[in-house]
Structure 1
């Protein structure tokens, strides 16, 4: 009588059902758990200070002095007090919005057109331009060029002018923005651009109708990067603008923090929230497209 054939697949299934875990699956599971623990740890490190400041801004003065994490009573009177104490605060907030969005829009336009030209129009000397852009990233331009920027702004008559901040903000962020958009346009096949040209579309129409829809995630990356850089910029604003009413919010925040003797902690926390909340809201709405575009651009950058 011949022996019956051995069913190895059934034996493996029985061993798995009996509780013997496979080593590979166990290692993958441990790696997943460790990865999530690390991510949540960094998330807490980032969020806890923001939550603490937010709760501090709605605490009463006795709660703030006791140092309790949660307020026993909510007090929203610190926000009106901030606007009363700093008479130029609405103007400073408008200045930040005006300068930031102007710099972001101009930088996006320049970086999109430059990135498209470097990849799909192939101008002569594009390799040298890319090399210069890369080299410029290794220099602390904001610090080294501060005197040159001041002299240029004085020659243009833009000292103590809020609109004069737009040009330096655009210049300082243009190199990285162009490189990001160049890497995004490298993901667009040349055949699609050539097909649009064969159909009679000019360079601008090809860029608008074909190129931009395919690099919209890169546009979100450019928007977030430039928004954060312009909104939180302090050094150039405090150097180029002397009038308090013409300055932006980061300088106002530094001035308020410097006079802590006249400010209670909840009032100072309210100023922090007013300054940081627009950037947090903008990033919250665009975070998914931001990380997607950042991952796509990282493959070519």
Structure 2
């Protein structure tokens, strides 16, 4: 009996050991792929940082090094002297912030309607929102330009903000619709039993639970508008109204040769707001999601 029991235990132990090895191998492969992906994403940014602090003689090397031999801030000084970076950054900040706020204000009630009233119209609207994101910019720029010309909004930040709102609204609506569907309808039914109307329910019950989603969507809309180049290039002609991505192209000469040091320094400064905002708001978004889950 003891030999038979030992044989059975050994037979049972082999699949378990094989399964544990397979699990460890799968996890190792996942971690390796994740590390490779992170390195792939970090490589351009790290090279940009290295280039921004290199003096001209190191930039002219045939085989550049990762770490500058003599780090310098000269590229940053030249960048601010050669181009109006601060006014351009102010224009980008204004356009991105206003367009993100307006898009969220418009998308939140629309997302509530699409999520709570499911019918043919809502399904068609949701499908159109998804399809609209596939339209290339070249396809929509001519109609947008003609509309803004008729409204006398060409070469103005107001016209650019209007375009950013129209362009970011489908994405904001699609994201917020998913967040609204995650809110239990029973909470709204309980509020209705207490006598709250639809507007009161949306403001007092649903909106507080949507704060993490609203913040995340607004952040994505802001970063998208901050980095946008094509619309700003076509719609803005006055030097004092141009945004930061357009001004960065001025570091490239007529023959296509870039002043690499100041360009890298200016591009580094233009890249920082996105990661800084994500790092600053990440904990609040996660904490808000957990709080919403506990409340629901």
Which residue of 1 is the match for residue 50 of structure 2?
A: 55
Instruction: Give, in angstroms, the shift of residue 242 of structure 1.
Output: 0.4
Residue 161 (structure 2) aligned to one of 166, 169, 184: 166
1:106 paired to 2:102: yes
Residue 196 (structure 2) aligned to one of 201, 226, 235: 201
How do residues 76-225 of structure 1 correspond to structure 2 at under 5 angstroms? 76-86=73-83, 88-120=84-116, 125-140=121-136, 142-225=137-220
Instruction: Give, in angstroms, the shift of residue 108 of structure 1.
Output: 1.1
- Which TM-score applies when normalising by structure 1? 0.84
Aligned mates of 1:91, 1:124 — CA distance in 2: 47
How do residues 225-264 of structure 1 correspond to structure 2 at under 5 angstroms? 225-258=220-253, 264=259
> What is the aligned residue count?
287
Task: Report if the CA contact (8 A) 2:251-2:259 is conserved.
Answer: no
Task: Report if the CA contact (8 A) 1:217-1:289 is conserved.
Answer: yes
Which residue of 2 is the match for residue 72 of structure 1?
A: 69
Secondary structure (helix, strand or coil) at the match of 1:186 reads helix
Aligned mates of 1:118, 1:250 — CA distance in 2: 35
Q: Which runs of 5+ in 2 are unaligned?
A: 290-296
- Which TM-score applies when normalising by structure 2? 0.85
Instruction: Give, in angstroms, the shift of residue 247 of structure 1.
Output: 0.8
Aligned mates of 2:231, 2:224 — CA distance in 1: 12
